[in-house]
Amino acid sequence: MTKIKICGLYRPCDIDYVNEAAPDYCGFIIDFPESHRNVTPQQVRDLTRNLAPGIIPVGVLVDQPLEKAAELLQEGIIAAVQLHGREDEEYIAALRSRTAGKPIWKAFRIRGLSDLAAAAASAADQIILDNGGGSGQSFDWSLTAAINRPFFLAGGLNPGNLAAAIRQAKPIGVDLSSGVETDRCKDRQKILAAVTAARQMN
């Protein structure tokens, strides 16, 4: 079954939308002011109080101190962490040693086969193959034929191309953000359509 994650939630109504659509995961971009979707740990606490059971909250971090990532997991503010910066294998190992089996995800910007090799070798529990940088653009999905481990697909996905992306790349999950927005805000209808499209592929 293809999992689906709706990322970049930052308003109370965004929680309402995902509760209605019932994706597997939702994501929060924590302490990254460069993003208009930026939220603080306290905002994540407040937002997830109303999150439906069964939707797993994932914290997206970019080059944050190890102590902060560990604290977010240890305190249960997030259930999994998604690393989107220059975090290396040493960082992942150290974080794992402090967080007792909490899931660690790592995103990789895919431009060629060397990027896929790095992703395949990662010690992260889950890898995300992405175009990178929150550009809303996709990379060449045909490259995914060369990877030999399960992955989430991200970058440039929207309700209109989701089925084609799943058919071609065969990910175990998909991760959407800007593709379910209108005027930089989460769009209820697009979220519902994306989750429906992913579920129909199962």
pLDDT at 133 over 80: no
pLDDT at 136 over 80: no
What confidence tier does 138 reach under pLDDT thresholds 50, 70, 90?
confident
Task: Express each pLDDT in 76-102 by its tens digit.
Answer: 999 999 999 999 999 999 999 999 889
26 catalytically annotated: no
pLDDT at 119 over 80: yes
Contact 178/153 with Cβ under 8 angstroms? Answer: no
Helix 12-21 with 41-48: angle, nearest 10 deg: 50
Per-residue confidence (pLDDT) for residue 178, from 0 to 100:
94
Q: Which residues contact residue 165 at a Cβ distance below 8 angstroms, ignoring those fewer than 6 apart?
A: 138, 141, 153, 157, 171, 174
Catalytic residue chosen out of the listed positions 7, 14, 24, 175:
7
Q: Residue range 4-14: average pLDDT?
A: 98
Nearest alpha-carbon partner for 119 in 50, 130, 61: 130
Fold of 3-200: TIM Barrel (3.20.20)
pLDDT at 131 over 90: no
Per-residue confidence (pLDDT) for residue 137, from 0 to 100:
76
Angle (CA) 16-133-7 rounded to 5° is: 15
Catalytic residue chosen out of the listed positions 14, 24, 115, 130:
130
* Structural Rg of the chain based on CA atoms: 16
pLDDT at 159 over 70: yes
7 catalytically annotated: yes
Per-residue confidence (pLDDT) for residue 57, from 0 to 100:
98
**Spans of all domains in the chain:** 3-200
* C-alpha–C-alpha distance, residues 47 and 42, integer Å: 9
Query: Among 13-17, 19-23, 136-140, 194-198, where is mean pLDDT lowest?
Result: 136-140
Q: Residue range 63-87: average pLDDT?
A: 97
At residue 162, the 3 state secondary structure works out as: helix
